[in-house]
Amino acid sequence: MPRIMNNPDDIVDEMLNGFLKAHADIVEATDNKRVVKAKNIPADKVGVVTGGGSGHKPAFIGYVGKNLCDAAAVGEICSSPTAAAFLDSFKAADQGQGVACLYGNYSGDNMNVKMAVKMAKKQGITVKTVVANDDVASAPKEQCEKRRGVAGEVLMWKVGGAKAAKGGNLDEVIAAAQKAIDNTRSVGIGLAPCTLPAVGHPNFEIKPGTMEVGIGHHGEPGIAVCKLENAAEMAKRMVDVVVPDYPFEAGDEVVALVSGLGATPVMELYVLYDEIECLLKEKGIHVYRPYVGNYFTSMEMMGATLTLMKLDDELKELIDTPANSMGLKQN
Amino acid sequence: MPRIMNNPDDIVDEMLNGFLKAHADIVEATDNKRVVKAKNIPADKVGVVTGGGSGHKPAFIGYVGKNLCDAAAVGEICSSPTAAAFLDSFKAADQGQGVACLYGNYSGDNMNVKMAVKMAKKQGITVKTVVANDDVASAPKEQCEKRRGVAGEVLMWKVGGAKAAKGGNLDEVIAAAQKAIDNTRSVGIGLAPCTLPAVGHPNFEIKPGTMEVGIGHHGEPGIAVCKLENAAEMAKRMVDVVVPDYPFEAGDEVVALVSGLGATPVMELYVLYDEIECLLKEKGIHVYRPYVGNYFTSMEMMGATLTLMKLDDELKELIDTPANSMGLKQN
């Protein structure tokens, strides 16, 4: 894998240096070099924090910005941030109204967030959490607390960030973000794996000519390995996993988010979205707002994810709120 | 190359279907299915048009939008749009004040734009052109009319689109866009090639463990093939090609645009930008505005390009003008 890097051990620090320089209008550094915070956080608002491993751009730091997250904790490639980084993110985001920590269901993140929440409490900062679990393929519905968080996290941040920006108190922000993720389902299809920079070869396999339905961002096993299908067939597989699980039904209005996994050309995401939108239309499901692009990736992994979120009036208003970050700019 | 597509012959049409659905707030279809136009073009402004082959997302249709291009002609993968598509783009963009066609220096585009300009004249539409030639590596400075247009085109569209939005007449829009590209220099480094969907294998080679400095978006030969270097060395190579050519000098204020070529993770672009910014700073060159991301790609090619544009007061104002398109959203 030909990479643009120096010492692989320094890639996260160097990436952060470049990120902070490139987006100095939106974000700034903190004393903890693994914490990025938004510039000009309005006073008296609830703080919104996220965090996760690196290599998933725009996630996670790409969603720090106006009306989105106020701070993010940064981990090594595909590894959770430390508890200290989460704690310092809480401190960076806290405006005296408490902090909503909106993150994904991975064991390392769970452990470190829990420790950080306890430490924050001792320091007088109230932190409440929402744990994203939108990945349908990662566990049966009856065990949805075991499901991973994937690209649905972007919608959780959008909703939670907008609720905080509109003056919601901590419980209201948490309730809105929880509703966002409760109304959200995702599935991914992997076409080619990615390589950890310090390792130099993929740590999971997708055999050429095959694809894996339901695969996670780190190669976590999916629900089916089959021969590579065409876009129409892939779209049908995704819709057939996501739609019945919630279930989304005729008359529903949804956000549809199609994200590339990294190296799949954006052109192909539009081909996929065209198929998905047709299938949803056939079912009477109306896409109120589409997002198509690279929203939550895994380095140079190939493939795509589909995320649907059922909307109500509150979620529509929060999804429509303007936002400005590296990963999401919306007027 | 595992792709998300149906029949490769349909990929452009299907991509356009998805693109128009995903960005219906910004763009709309026209009677010519290979022409995309901006929604709600203000009356009485100069029309701004571009066009080029597909596979370079966000270029070219991703720069159709508010204060950018008003229409774009769409070609097959890596092939020029037809003269008819350029002509219909002129018609779609024309508000009675003439049209500025801002495109890149490729033989197919040159031929088809020239034919379309003649046909437009017969129909009473005045079209003037600026031909981007920012790729330093594609010909010596004395033969700069032979140089290709690459990611510098994004800055030409930004400047020309803003000048038209601010009420500039056709000659003023052309002059601003020409100044933008005259002040701009680019170079690319290729790390891995891309594959035409209908062909199924790369039509050019970058040997594993090597990189090609100055390679074009379609694998056009560069100025040096060498062993894969680290980010600091790559940054130095790019700066050493681009800076002396213009030349950029101590005290200059510039736009620095670092674009991925497609499959290189965005994380690595930040690592590269960090190095580039340091090198420019050492030379006394100040980055007034950075752009880092996937602005002009070539499907799943790996590598990056560096573009610098020397600024004056007019260019600063035009670069700072808000814009809204799929590929460029700026407040």
Pick the catalytic residue: B56, B201, B217, B286? B56
Kindly tell me if the per-residue pLDDT of A127 is higher than 90.
Answer: yes
Choose among B19, B271, B300: nearest Cβ to A15.
B271
Is B286 catalytic? The answer is: no
A6 and B232: CB-CB below 8 Å? yes
Q: Hey, are the CB atoms on B22 and A272 less than 8 Å from each other?
A: no
A218: three-class secondary structure by DSSP: coil
Is the pLDDT at A275 greater than 90? The verdict is: yes
Q: Of all residues in chain A, what percent carry a pLDDT higher than 70?
A: 100
Select the residue of B5, B268, B326 nearest A5 (Cβ to Cβ): B268
Report yes or no: A272 at the B interface, CB cutoff 8 Å.
yes
Q: List, as one string, the DSSP characters of A225-280.
A: EEE---HHHHHHHHHHHHHHHTT--TT-EEEEEEEE-BSS-HHHHHHHHHHHHHHH
Q: Which of A4, A14, A22 sits opposite B264 (nearest CB)?
A: A4
- The domains located in chain B, with CATH, are 8-183 (3.40.50.10440), 184-311 (3.30.1180.20)
pLDDT at A188 over 90: yes
| Percent of chain B with pLDDT strictly greater than 90 | 98
B201 flagged as catalytic: no
Cβ contacts below 8 Å, chain A against chain B, sum to 180
Q: Inter-chain contact A14–B231, Cβ cutoff 8 Å?
A: yes
**Gap from A20 CA to chain B (nearest CA, Å):** 9
If pLDDT is split at 50, 70 and 90, which confidence band does B3 have? very high
CA distance A60 to chain B (A): 12
Question: Which pLDDT does position A58 carry in this prediction?
Answer: 98
The answer on pLDDT for B289 being more than 90 is: yes
Whether B271 and A18 lie within 8 Å, measured CB to CB: yes
Mean of pLDDT values over A55-62: 98
Do B44 and A292 touch, CB atoms closer than 8 A? no
Instruction: Name the 3-class secondary structure at A302.
Output: strand
The 10s digit of each residue's pLDDT in B170-201 is 999 999 999 999 999 999 999 999 999 989 88
Reported ipTM: the value is: 0.98
Q: Which residues of A touch B39 (CB under 8 A)?
A: none
Q: What is the mean pLDDT of residues A100-118?
A: 98
Q: Which residue in the set A2, A209, A271 is minimally distant from B15, CB to CB?
A: A271
Say whether residue B36 is in contact with chain A using an 8 A CB cutoff: no
> What is the per-residue pLDDT for A238?
98
Q: What is the pLDDT of residue A201?
A: 87
Q: What mean pLDDT is predicted for residues A233-254?
A: 98
